[in-house]
Copies of this chain bind each other. A is one copy, B any other.
Amino acid sequence: MVQPTGSSLDPRDRALFTDRYELAMLQGYYESGHTPTATFSLYFRKLPPDRGYAIAAGLEQVIDYVESLAFDDQALEYLAEEGFDADFLSYLDGFEFTGEIRALPEGTLVFPNEPLLEVTAPIHEAQLFETFVLNQVGFQTLVATKGARMADVVRRRGDSQDLVDFGSRRAHGTDAGLTAARAAYIGGFDGTSNMLAGERYGIPTYGTMAHSWVQSFESERASFAAFADVYGDDAIYLVDTYDTVTGAERAVAVAADRDVDLGGVRLDSGDLTELSKQVREIVDDASIVVSSSVDEFFLREFFDDDGVASAFGPGTALTTSADAPNSGVVYKLTAVERDGTLAPSMKLSPGKVTYPGQKALHRVERDGQYQYDILARRDEALEAGEPQLEPIFEDGSLVYTPPELATIRQRASRELETLPERCRRVTDPNPYEFRISDGLEAVTQQTERSIRDREL
């Protein structure tokens, strides 16, 4: 039974999950009667270290947020205490999104400067979303990407091993525990240990036993026997509590003694590659689950050194994206209404320049391989490649049916296979080719020039 897949934040709390400056600006826009239509774009300035690509994720939580956003009496009362004006609060009381959202579907490859999300709406509506959408899309995209990196190593080097998210305990809070399981699944993982993620998203759940199980019995052997009595052929025994090789031998002996198949063993410490080979000799064709410090770099070495495993359980590295815990995505104003038309806009802050205007993004594929992307003005007639941004909301109404999670996962897998292998390397990947259309190049230069003339 799959549950609604929105944010784990109670709907009544979503409206206040925003930075004070968003509300300060909203009040400013409202009180000064300055509410032009504006376009905001959510994108990576650059990819995190060692990443040659990212996998878009988190759109479904954004959709649910936009659909459910409302300020209730308690929220309005709090804002009144915090000094916001009564007139403005009556406006918030009836807040409703009336604009347009276009987005990259979840599971799609994304590269720097490409819009994950483009919101066009009266400026105060689009502004309010900033904090939440960065929070959700940034984190899920980070973990989908981290998961895809591991899945890609397993696909290319491994033997169809299962990848299971074991990292809820290390995730930053409960929402991260849940959405990391979802994002990792999108990236190519096979399951999660988190039962709530299993219930909410319909992701397969996996689990073995902990050291505490083993320690709680009078001996390791007795603990394995008790587990075999409950779980029979399915039991997977954690064998490193005292000594991994001895533990594996005991698991074999117990299964024989109880007359059940040896489901498998889990290794959680020591030189996992070396131990996996020793243990394979002992456990015959039973499963070997490898956990503790698993990430894409570990997996690459594990396969280089002929390690043997049936499944991996990455934890910390996955759910905190440990080597790159910040996506760095930004949500920037790229166009604003002037004299009735949407005029391109940008800032000039050092190192923080933005391509102005509404965008089109085309991806060019040839012979089953992506060749390059072109970022263009939305109104340009591009012939090359396939347009990537899809309409999500129009005139405030949802016009998009979010795909099943399994469909998103298939898309991500297909996307990765279509990306040249040199761009998928775990370290020092080649940059994927990114082009700016002549039209966008021209409008960027023109916008920058006119700002320099006006402001500097």
Contacts and interface: CB of A to CB of B under 8 A. Distances in A.
Interface residues of A, number: 115
Nearest to A82: B205
Interface in A332-363: 332-333, 336, 338, 345-352
A175 interface: yes
Interface stretch (A13-21, A104-112, A149-157, A371-379): A13-21
A241 interface: yes
A38 interface: yes
A44 interface: no
A347 B239 CA distance: 11
A230 interface: yes
A136 interface: yes
B9 A174 contact: yes
Given A171-B172, A218-B338, A349 B25 contact: no
B242 A456 contact: yes
A160 interface: no
A253 interface: no
Interface string A7-43: 1111001001111111111011101101010101000
A7 to B, nearest CB: 6
A205 B20 contact: yes
A414 interface: no
Nearest to A19: B193
B38 A216 contact: yes
A276 interface: no
A243 B456 contact: yes
Given A28-B209, A82-B205, 4 more contacts: A8-B173, A13-B196, A21-B207, A78-B199
Kindly list the 5 A-B residue pairs having the minimum CB-CB distance in the complex, ordered from nearest: A20-B207, A173-B175, A21-B207, A172-B172, A212-B333
